[in-house]
Amino acid sequence: MALAVVLQLSMGLLSVAVVDQPDVQRQPAATPSTAPEPRAAGAQRAAPSAAELERAADTERNEQVEQLLAARSAAILGRDRSAFLATVDPRAAALQARQAAMFDALAAVPIGTWEYGLNQRGGRAADAALDLRYGRGLWWAPPVTLSYGLADFDDTPTVDEHHLTFVRRDDRWLLGADDDFDAVGGRSPRALWERGPVVAVRAPGVLALGHKDTSVLRNVASLASAAIPRVNEVWGEQWGKRVVVVVPSSAEEMASLIGSTQDFSQIAAVATAEVSDASGDDAIERILVNPDTFSKLGQLGRRVVLTHEVTHVAARRATGPAVPAWLAEGLADYVGYKDVKVPLSVAARNLRKDVRAGRLPAALPTDEAFTGGNPALAQAYEQSWLAVRLLVERYGEAELLAFYRAVGASEGSDSSVVLTTELRDAFGIDDARLIADWRAALQRQLG
């Protein structure tokens, strides 16, 4: 009995079982003077066990944290800054400042949905360091997801796992930290709006998000917008015809936004589905521009790059696992370079150098050839582009697209088997014939 009372008081859980108060959460903190007389209460009914008290405390905590997360969502959607910051532990000054900055950074972003999910059964195990920091039983770190979508652009939300610590302060559960687990692989994703104020620029079908430099953003938005009808002309209109382009401030920021460790120094832009190690298999499609590389391109180069990326976005749903990278990249470059008057000696200059030096490639590039660190990355793109161009010239654009869609729709797990079948069905050729024709074309066009 004595133990139960002590536990009860120390948890600030006034008389959950003893006087059976339904409205536990609004009870003031327990003090000896207001606590019910334990002996009398105990005489009426059995004292709660330690386990029962712990369960009651957990239930209260879970409910409060659920409410806290709902309040955060409502504050973001309702643009209520003080309500948002009221969910954060006032003693965590750095977190308060970061959360305020994030809230402000979101001002120009058209957030359509913002919803947290809480897994009450999960939660980090006992942690002596956190016990010391917050007090034993006064912190909780359950798995939390944040789902958010951009209004008018995202049909399905982006879902990120967050690693948050909730702390109990003066009988209330609040957000206490978002970086307690950084060092143990539990780093919460840092979105664009957690890296400085976000500027949004719109053009028909395009939302471009970036930081300060609006001239690049405006340029990117208008080029991406102009790419949409070009892509429609080849690919057709059976896609969303809306594109979100993100322009981070550096290649480093880009890599960390995608959650990739790839080397992007040779890459001007990517569509997220292109990045093999990007976090999440079904990440929402975005185009990310690498400002370091993109800004060095002229307007024509920028146009080709963005048309290439918009093609990936359009083709994404038709691009199943059997589609080899050379086909996806070749199609994107085919659309990118279509109707652009650039001589092959410029557009395929790296491959041309190889061919002229007697280094005619023996096979189409593997998927691995498209990783950022490949010193022959440019050749991989040029080889793919010319393979797709050859198929279009020889068999027609509609046939090439039908072939792409057939490979993309295939359930087959072995890409090379699928490719062999579809090459035969679409064009009546085998792999060897494709390679031989392609090598002959490279020699003819570039040699």
* Burial class, 86, CB count within 10 angstroms (exposed 0-12 / middle 13-18 / buried 19+): middle
Nearer to Zn ion, 209 or 313 (CB): 313
Instruction: Collect contacts of 68-75 with beta carbons under 8 A, ≥24 apart.
Output: 68/166, 68/173, 68/174, 68/175, 69/116, 69/118, 69/144, 70/116, 72/116, 72/175, 73/114, 73/115, 73/116, 75/103
Write down the least CB distance from residue 377 to Zn ion, Å.
11
Work out the end-to-end distance of the chain between its first and last CA atoms, rounded to an integer number of angstroms: 93
Write down the least CB distance from residue 68 to Zn ion, Å.
42
Interacting stretch for Zn ion, rule CB under 5 A, among 5-13, 235-243, 269-277, 289-297?
269-277
Instruction: Considering only residues 332 through 391, tell me which ones interact with Zn ion, judged by CB under 5 A.
Output: 332
x/- site string to Zn ion, residues 324 to 343, per CB under 5 A?
A: -----x--x-----------
Instruction: Considering only residues 274 through 313, tell me which ones interact with Zn ion, judged by CB under 5 A.
Output: 274
Inter-residue contact 286 to 272 (CB < 8 Å): yes
d(CA 19, CA 353): 87
- Per CB under 5 A, does 102 bind Zn ion? no
d(CA 115, CA 77): 10
x/- site string to Zn ion, residues 384 to 423, per CB under 5 A?
A: ----------------------------------------
- Tell me the sheet residues that pair with 209: 200, 246
Task: Count residues near Zn ion (CB under 5 A).
Answer: 3
Write down the least CB distance from residue 271 to Zn ion, Å.
6
Write down the least CB distance from residue 262 to Zn ion, Å.
13
Nearer to Zn ion, 274 or 285 (CB): 274
d(CA 160, CA 165): 16
Residue type, 258: I
Nearer to Zn ion, 310 or 418 (CB): 310
- Return the SS3 of 242: coil
Write down the least CB distance from residue 243 to Zn ion, Å.
14
Nearer to Zn ion, 195 or 312 (CB): 312
Binding site for Zn ion (CB under 5 A): 274, 329, 332
